[in-house]
A and B are shown apart, each in its own frame.
Chain A
Amino acid sequence: MSIISIRDLVVEYDGRRVLDGLSLDIEHGETMVLLGGSGSGKSTLLRQILGLERPKSGSVFVKGIDITRCSPAELKKLRRSIGVAFQSAALFNSL
């Protein structure tokens, strides 16, 4: 089973389609690199995988759980097993 599985993901910001029917599978232990120009939707895809935003349509399965439909408590539990290094928040400057 794929550790991350994305099906027909559509994301729009103010009517502008950023991701259009994206499907992707990442297997356990696999390393994947996303390459693309500025504004091509790389960060948007990562935010969807982390459940920070809701898509217009489609599904994002992480460890078999659809992150777009799970409850806040399930999301919190799932996030405990995810590690992310953000672009500008490698250190908590304000804390």
Chain B
Amino acid sequence: MPNVLEDVGRSTINHLDYVGSVNIQWWSTLRSMASALPLVGNRYRWQASVRQMLQIGVDALPMVSLMAICTGFILAMQGASELRRFGAIHYVIDLVAVGFTRELGPLLTAIAVSGRSGSAFAAEIGTMKVTEELDSLRVMALEPIEFILAPKYLAALVTVPCLTIVSNVCGILAGGLFMFFSTHLSASLYLRDVLESIELRDVITGLIKSVAFATIIAQVSCLEGFRVRGGPDGVGRSTTSAVVKSTFLVIVADAIFTTIFYFTVKH
């Protein structure tokens, strides 16, 4: 019995320590974010931010678009197969449009970014840790949070909402493609119905989620990199851990946000 209590206590302390570390790192990043901004910040940090934006955002466009198109098509097909029985196939448009702007667009984008960029963040920082580059930076009075994390976080904050919008558009267009092939609904009518079914608050709540997901992915992945111990095997473990933890936390955060919006935003 004491062993069980010890294990529970140790696990609780470890989890609280992790949550505390993420929050302290987030606060430190926010304090050093000014250096990564254009005009007011350091030119080299801003250049690093732009490079990160290209890697996180532009390079991920084909993957995010394809995922959204496939999911939009699947959602429309699955919805149509049930709604057709009730003569309500028209509601597939609402299902796809509202489902993507509120939920699937931000979630799919976050999962794609977590897998692509979250793992890259952890591997890059972890390698810097084991090769003593982080220590070198500290000795040169350069804070790794400002030097490495701030540009990545700024880039994620800018690109993840942009990718979410692209994902929304691709998913909704895929739904339109299905409607055209199954019911010969014209593109103009489909777009009109889409615009009627979604509201500004749907888009805004989706974008709020995407900003929160960007924060989770950047902070958790970078923390995993900073916490690497040992050699190359430690980098491998941290990379896996970064993807698993950030994806898990994104889904948990999504559930929390959806609950909050469900009870606070008037429908």
Residues of A that sit less than 8 Å from B by CB: 47, 50, 52, 76-77, 79-80, 82, 84, 86-89, 92-95
Contact = CB atoms under 8 A, between A and B. Distances in A.
Nearest to A85: B136
Contacts of A52: 135, 138-139
A89 B141 contact: no
Contacts of B128: 94
Contact of A79 (B124, B131, B132, B139): B139
B141 A86 contact: no
Contact of B133 (A76, A82, A94): A94
Given A86-B136, A92-B136, A76 B131 contact: no
B141 A84 contact: no
Nearest first, the 10 closest Cβ-Cβ pairs linking A and B are A86-B132, A79-B141, A89-B132, A89-B136, A89-B133, A76-B141, A88-B131, A84-B139, A80-B141, A86-B136
Interface size class of B (residues with CB under 8 A): 10 to 19
B139 A82 contact: yes
B238 interface: no
Contact of B140 (A79, A87, A88, A93): A79
Given A79-B140, A80-B141, A86 B127 contact: no
A84 to B, nearest CB: 5
A88 B136 CA distance: 10
B131 A89 contact: yes
A89 B138 contact: no
Interface string B114-156: 0000000000100110011101101111010000000000000
A43 B143 CA distance: 21
Nearest to A72: B143
Contacts of A79: 138-141
A89 B135 contact: yes
A80 B138 CA distance: 10
Contacts of B127: 93-94
A74 to B, nearest CB: 11
Nearest to B133: A89
A76 B143 CA distance: 9
B179 to A, nearest CB: 48
Contacts of A82: 139
Contacts of A92: 133, 136
Nearest to B137: A92
A82 B136 CA distance: 11
Contacts of B140: 79-80
A41 to B, nearest CB: 16
A50 B133 CA distance: 14
A34 to B, nearest CB: 17
Contacts of A47: 135
A93 B139 contact: no
Given A94-B124, A94-B127, A88 B132 contact: yes
Contacts of A86: 132-133, 135-136
B139 A50 contact: yes
B243 to A, nearest CB: 20
